[in-house]
Amino acid sequence: MIGINRRNFGLLAGGFLASTAMPAFAQAKGRIVVGTWGGDYQNLQQAHIADAVLKDSGIQVIFDPANDTVRKAKLLAERRLPRGTMDIACMTRQGSNELFTQGAVEELDETKIPNLSKVLPFIRTKYSVPHIYTGRVILYNPDQVSPAPTSYADLWDPKYAGKIGVIDIQYQTTIESAAMISGGGPSNYEPGKAKLMELKKQGVKVFATNEAMAQALKTGEIVMCIMWNARGYMWQKAGINIEIAIPKEGIAVYLSDMCVPKNAPNKEAAYAYLNAMLEEQPQVAFAENMGYAPTNSEVTLPPELAARVDYTPEQREKFIMPDLEYLLGVDSSLQDFWNKEFKA
Amino acid sequence: MIIFCGMSIMLLPLILILWLSVTSNEILALPVEGYSFRWFSEAFRQPQFLSGFLLSVTVATFATVAGLIVSVPAALVIVRRRFWGREALIQLLMSPLTVPAIVIGAALYITVVEVEIASGVPLVGSTAIFAAGHVLLTIPWCVRLLLASMEGLNQSIEEAAASLGASPASVIWRVTLPLIRPAMFAAGVFAFVVSFGNLEVSIFLSGPGQVTLPVAVMQYLEWKIDPTIAAVSVLQVLFVAVMLVISDRFVNISRMV
C-alpha cells in the first residue's frame, strides 16, 4: 500500500515543478533519432559521430535506417504531428529542398551550429547542413575503353554500342548528362531526351540499382557508365577494374544533407549532432571509407586521398550545381519520359 | 527429366548463394577468384545483422502466434456456419495478399499518423503497430491453410463427441483442434516465414532503432556488394532448415506443406 501523506505530496509536487522548469536551461542531451541510409553510411556515423565526437555529451543517438524515398514519404506524412519520429533527416539535396518547400523541415538556427561557418559557401542552404558531396564522372574499364573518355559524348561512340549501362534510379542525372552534350544543361533537360533515345537505339542496358551496375562492370558486361566519383572510389577499392574520367562538360555536384524536421522532439541535441558531423574526424572518415569530399572547408585530407576524392579550387569554381526549382517542376515529366519512352 | 529440371532451377539460387558465400571475391559476381570463409566473420562483425536477426525472430514469433489466434476461430466459423457475408469475410481475410506489401506498409503508416493526430496517442513508430502490421501479413496464409484442412475434416467425429455429451467448447478443444493440429503447424510455418522475410511493412512501421534482418541486409547492399550478405543468407537458410527438421519431429509437415 502506497500512502501519500502531506509531506510526500509536497515533495512530489516540488519535483514535478522542478522537472517542468528544466527545459528552460536544458543542455543538448537525451535521445535523438537520426533517419539515415543504413549500412556503412550508418556505421560511419555511429563510429565517428555518436561514439567519438559526441561520446561524453550525454546525447544518445538512435539510427532509423531506410532509403531516402521512404524517409521523405514518412516525413511528409507525419509533418502535421506535434512530435515527429526523427530529429535529424539525412537527405539528398533535392530531397531536403522538397521537404523545405513542403514545410516539413525547419529553417536552421545557424547560431547553434558554429561549424557551419566553415562549410563551403556555394553548397550551403538555410534549411540543411551539407554533410558530404561528390562530383559526377565517367567510369570506364581501361582494358576495353581506349583512349580514355573525356566527354559524356564518348558513351555514344558506336564502338561501345551494347556495352554502355545506365542506372534506373539515376534517371535525373542521366538525362541531365545527355542534355549537357546536346545543347541543354542543368536548367534545361529537354534536349537530353532525344539524345538518350539515340543511346537506346545503340542497345544501352538499364540497371535497377548502383550495385547491379557494379556487378556488370566487374564481369565486363559494361565498359563505361556515368557515376558519382565517390562510388567509383568505393568500387575501385572493392577491386573492380575501372578508371575515373572527368567529363569536359563540367562536374555536376551530388550533395548529401542533414535537416531538422519542424516537429523534431529534441532539437537542441539535433543541432549538437549537426555541429558534430562537421568535425574533422567524421568528415575524414567518410572521405576515406566512402570517397566523399568533406563539406567543411577546413578539413584537410591526406594528399593522396584528396587527389582521388576532393576537388581543387579551380574545379570547384566550375562546379555545376543542381537547379532545384527546375527539378521540382519537371521531375514527374522526366519520370514519364524515362519509364514510358526510354525504358519501354 | 522435367522434374529434374524444375528441381535444379529451384535449387539454383540456394547453391549459388552457398557457393558465393565462400568465395574471396570482393564483389558478389562470377567468376570466382578464390575461396575464403572471411565473409562469415564479416557478417558477425556487423552488429545490425545479429540484432536484426533477433528482432526478426521475435516479431515473426509474435506475428505467428497472434495470426493463429485470430485465424483459427475465423476459419472455424467460416467452415461450420453458413451466414450472410461469408464469402466477403473470406475475401477480406485474404485481402492482404492481393495488395502489394509496400502499399500496405505506406497505407498503414499514413493511417497511423492520422489516428495519432486525431487522438493524441503516440502510435507512430510504436512496437504495437509494428507487430500488428506483421500479424496482418500472416492472416491470409493461416486462414487459407486452415480452411483447406477443415473443409476436408470428417464432421461426424465432432458430432459423435457432441452426442456423447461433450460441450461445444469441449468438442473444439478436445476434438477439432487436435484434428487440425498439423494444419495449424503448417500455417504457423508459413506465417513465420512471411513475417520473417518481410521488408516493405517493416521499413515503414518499425520504430527508430528497430531494424529487422531484411532491412539490415537491404541497407547494407546500398553501399557494399561483397559476399557478406550471401553469408548472412546461408546462416538464415540454415536456421530455417534446422527449425524445420526439429519441428518435423513433432508434426509431419512434409505431408502438410
Q: Does B46 reside within a domain? A: no
Neighbours of B28 (CB within 10 A): 23
Chain A hits for B27, Cβ within 8 Å: 214-215, 218, 238-240
Mean pLDDT (whole number) for A137-159 = 96
Summarised one tens digit per residue, pLDDT across range A263-304 is 999 999 999 999 999 999 999 999 999 999 999 999 999 999
Q: Does B8 reside within a domain? A: no
The fold of A134-253+321-342 is D-Maltodextrin-Binding Protein; domain 2 (3.40.190)
Q: Is the pLDDT of residue A202 over 90?
A: yes
Chain B hits for A265, Cβ within 8 Å: none
Chain B hits for A74, Cβ within 8 Å: 109, 204
The ipTM (two decimal places) reads 0.82
Q: Which amino acid is at A238?
A: A
Q: Does B189 reside within a domain? A: yes
pLDDT band at A129, cuts 50/70/90?
A: very high
Residues 6+ apart with CB under 8 A from B196: B56, B57, B59, B60, B213
Q: Does B37 reside within a domain? A: no
Q: Does B175 reside within a domain? A: yes
Q: What are the sequence ranges of the domains in chain A?
A: 26-132+255-311, 134-253+321-342
> For residue A233, what pLDDT is reported?
96
Name the residue in chain B with its Cα closest to that of A43: B46
Summarised one tens digit per residue, pLDDT across range B129-167 is 999 999 999 999 999 999 998 888 888 888 899 999 989
Summarised one tens digit per residue, pLDDT across range B74-129 is 999 998 888 899 999 999 999 999 999 889 999 999 999 999 989 988 888 888 99
CATH architecture group of domain A26-132+255-311: 3-Layer(aba) Sandwich (3.40)
Say whether residue A61 is in contact with chain B using an 8 A CB cutoff. no
Say whether residue A207 is in contact with chain B using an 8 A CB cutoff. no
Nearest CB neighbour to A78, from listed B29, B113, B224 = B113
Contact B223 A70 (CB under 8 A): no
Contact B113 A77 (CB under 8 A): yes
Domain A26-132+255-311 matches domain A134-253+321-342 at the CATH topology level: yes
Write the DSSP string, B60-83. HHHHHHHHHHHHHHHHHHHHH---
Chain B hits for A80, Cβ within 8 Å: 113, 117
Nearest CB neighbour to A214, from listed B27, B106, B208 = B27
Contact A211 B225 (CB under 8 A): yes
Q: Does B78 reside within a domain? A: yes
Q: Does B48 reside within a domain? A: no
Which structural domain, as residue segments, surrounds residue B93?
54-256
Say whether residue B7 is in contact with chain A using an 8 A CB cutoff. no
User: For chain B, where are the alpha helices, taking DSSP H only?
Assistant: 2-21, 38-45, 47-80, 86-98, 101-119, 127-151, 155-163, 168-171, 177-179, 181-196, 200-205, 213-221, 228-248, 253-256
> For residue A21, what pLDDT is reported?
40
Which bin fits A103, alpha (ψ -120 to 50), beta or left (φ > 0)? left
Q: Is the pLDDT of residue A10 over 80?
A: no
Nearest CB neighbour to B219, from listed A39, A74, A215 = A39
Residues 6+ apart with CB under 8 A from A314: none
Which B-chain residues 228-247 have CB contacts (< 8 A) with chain A? none
Summarised one tens digit per residue, pLDDT across range B164-186 is 998 989 998 999 999 888 889 88
Supply the CATH number for residue B87's domain: 1.10.3720.10
Summarised one tens digit per residue, pLDDT across range B1-46 is 888 888 888 888 888 888 888 888 777 777 777 888 888 888 888 8
Does A224 or B255 have the greater pLDDT score? A224
Count structural domains, chain B: 1
For residue A284, which of A302, A260, A303, A264 has the smallest C-alpha distance? A302
Say whether residue A244 is in contact with chain B using an 8 A CB cutoff. no
Nearest CB neighbour to B117, from listed A80, A85, A209 = A80
Say whether residue B203 is in contact with chain A using an 8 A CB cutoff. yes
Q: Are A221 and A181 in contact (CB under 8 A)?
A: no
Contact A37 B215 (CB under 8 A): no
